[in-house]
Structure 1
Amino acid sequence: MSWEYFSLFAIVSLCFWSFGAYAAWREKKTVFVHGFTIVGLVVFFIFIVGMWISLERPPMRTMGETRLWYSFFLPLVGIITYSRWKYKWILSFSTILSLIFICINILKPEIHNKTLMPALQSPWFAPHVIVYMFAYAMLGAAAVMAIYLLWKKKQKISPMEMDLCDNLANVGLSFLTLGLLSGALWAKEAWGHYWSWDPKETWAAATWLSYLCYIHFRLHKRNEYRKALVILLVSFVLLQMCWYGINYLPSAQGASIHTYNMR
């Protein structure tokens, strides 16, 4: 499987995800919502597996390859959220967000080869990235919900709506924590130490602490919804810095042990 087939698989997947989102919006039977969305996920995952076999390594080395996983996890999180809380718009948002990342990958293709530097030749590489991408998707859904509640909903925010943000953030932070722990084990194996306060690691710690602050704020200030949502959005901005924004900071140029992400 080569990258040239990405557009074909992506378009087919997006069509199925759109059908699922439309079925959810029109309040059709859940079998149609789940069926269309799951078929789209299977088609997209077939491409990921094909790339994995073709490259003889996990397709996670470049930013384009991590966007590939993010595009896959967004509809997955969308269908999980829909199944649990029946928000009919969540699949539409997850499909649109996935479309954005897919378009970036189509318009800005990267070089995908079998080369894998020694630090990435670790059994912790794949689970670390997969766990992080799933966490990013969960926290991305929480950010979308926060934006909706802050700017689209003028009336009083209900506890049930905040519960959705809380659940998404709690699950996202749980996987973020697993990502940090697996990353520390990977660092110990690759570089001989668990933590070095590398720029990437520093921003990862700041992101984790920010989401932890959101959870503690919700525990002690249950009725201050809008302040909590602002904290949630600030946390998501920090997450973006941790994911790819760090690559553009002077502190990471040549000094970071994670500079392989920029190649």
Structure 2
Amino acid sequence: MSWSYFIVFAAVSVVLWAVGAFAAWKERRVLAFASTGIGLAVFFAYIVMMWVSLERPPLRTMGETRLWYSFFLPLSGIIVYSRWRYRWILSFSSILATVFVCINILKPEIHSKTLMPALQSPWFAPHVIVYMMAYALLGAAMVMSVYLLFFKKGEATDKEADITDNLTYVGLAFMTLGMLMGALWAKEAWGHYWSWDPKETWAAITWLAYLVYVHYRQHRPKDLKPALWTLIVAFCLLQMCWWGINYLPSAQGSSVHTYNMQ
């Protein structure tokens, strides 16, 4: 499967996600689930074909990880919609997934079948995939926090506060699982579970930031505004962990986690 086919699969998926989002606003739940689900199937089919073509999981470059983020955003959106009936979540997830799709179309990257020995571990694929799911859920939690802070002025209903909490709790659970998988991978590849690599350091900082939110909500459930600001700060740290470290001098030529596009 060539990267040049991506635009076809992506265009079909984006249209189907848009139809699903529109159907959710019109309270046509069957169409929302069907359209979003078919769009996810089409997009995942491309990921699978890329996997077969490359003879490895498409998780090496930033462009390849954006494939997974584009897939998990609508997936997390439809899960949240099915559980809490929030109509906006499908619109948010579809728009953000489209942004990442467009970045991949406008900035194609080199895809090689070759993987360095460390990336040939069986922990490689589940570690990154679980992290992408966590990023999608925590992205939805961040949007919810922005909505509550700037549109509701911090005055949230119990249901709105609960959905923000639940998105964060589930996202943090996936992040924790991803970190554990990463530690097992590191032990297998480099002989130790943790080495304070720049990526690992920022991952720990991000994890602790979300843990602060969880503890704050448990001990000060009525004081919502500081907790929502914590979510926004934590998501900024998450962006630093995901792609920002690529631009840190300390990571240049030394970090095993920086994305190699060659």
Asked whether the two chains share a fold, i.e. TM above 0.5, the reply is: yes
Cα offset for 1:261?
4.2
Residue segments in structure 1 that go unaligned for 5+ positions in a row? none
Q: Counterpart of 2:184? A: 185
Instruction: Tell me if the contact between 1:17 and 1:37 (Cα under 8 Å) persists in the aligned partners.
Output: yes
Say whether 1:198 aligns with 2:197.
Answer: yes
Cα offset for 1:156?
2.0
Say whether 1:115 aligns with 2:114.
Answer: yes
Cα offset for 1:150?
1.1
Cα offset for 1:162?
0.9
Superposition pairs for residues 8-87 of structure 1, below 5 Å? 8-28=8-28, 30-87=29-86
Say whether 1:215 aligns with 2:214.
Answer: yes
1:125-156 C-alpha deviation (Å, 9 max, x unpaired) = 00001100001111011111111111122472
Distance in structure 1 (CA, Å) of the matches to 2:86 and 2:151: 15
1:19-43 C-alpha deviation (Å, 9 max, x unpaired) = 0000001112x11110000000000
Q: CA RMSD in A?
A: 1.0
Question: What is the TM-score normalised by the length of structure 2?
Answer: 0.98
Instruction: Tell me if the contact between 2:245 and 2:258 (Cα under 8 Å) persists in the aligned partners.
Output: no
| Counterpart amino acid of residue 26 in structure 1 | K
| Counterpart amino acid of residue 31 in structure 1 | V
Q: Counterpart of 2:231? A: 232
Distance in structure 1 (CA, Å) of the matches to 2:119 and 2:154: 49
**Percent of paired sites with the same residue:** 69
| Counterpart amino acid of residue 142 in structure 2 | A
Say whether 1:169 aligns with 2:171.
Answer: no
Q: Counterpart of 1:244? A: 243
Distance in structure 2 (CA, Å) of the matches to 1:169 and 1:262: 31
Deviates more, 1:252-261 or 1:238-247: 252-261
Give the number of equivalent residue pairs.
Answer: 262
Distance in structure 2 (CA, Å) of the matches to 1:184 and 1:155: 38
| Counterpart amino acid of residue 53 in structure 1 | V
Cα offset for 1:249?
0.7
Instruction: Tell me if the contact between 1:60 and 1:129 (Cα under 8 Å) persists in the aligned partners.
Output: yes
| Counterpart amino acid of residue 101 in structure 1 | F
Residue segments in structure 2 that go unaligned for 5+ positions in a row? none
Distance in structure 1 (CA, Å) of the matches to 2:45 and 2:240: 30
| Counterpart amino acid of residue 41 in structure 2 | V
| Counterpart amino acid of residue 75 in structure 1 | P
Distance in structure 2 (CA, Å) of the matches to 1:154 and 1:146: 10
Structure 1 222/60 Cα, relative in aligned 2: closer, same or farther at 3 Å?
same
1:157-188 C-alpha deviation (Å, 9 max, x unpaired) = 11210110110000000010010000000001
| Counterpart amino acid of residue 14 in structure 1 | V
4+ runs deviating over 6 angstroms: none
1:5-29 C-alpha deviation (Å, 9 max, x unpaired) = 101100100011000000001112x
| Counterpart amino acid of residue 168 in structure 2 | A
Instruction: Tell me if the contact between 1:37 and 1:79 (Cα under 8 Å) persists in the aligned partners.
Output: yes
Q: Counterpart of 1:143? A: 142
Distance in structure 2 (CA, Å) of the matches to 1:4 and 1:262: 17
SS at match of 1:259: coil
Distance in structure 2 (CA, Å) of the matches to 1:152 and 1:140: 18
Question: What is the TM-score normalised by the length of structure 1?
Answer: 0.98
Q: Counterpart of 2:253? A: 254
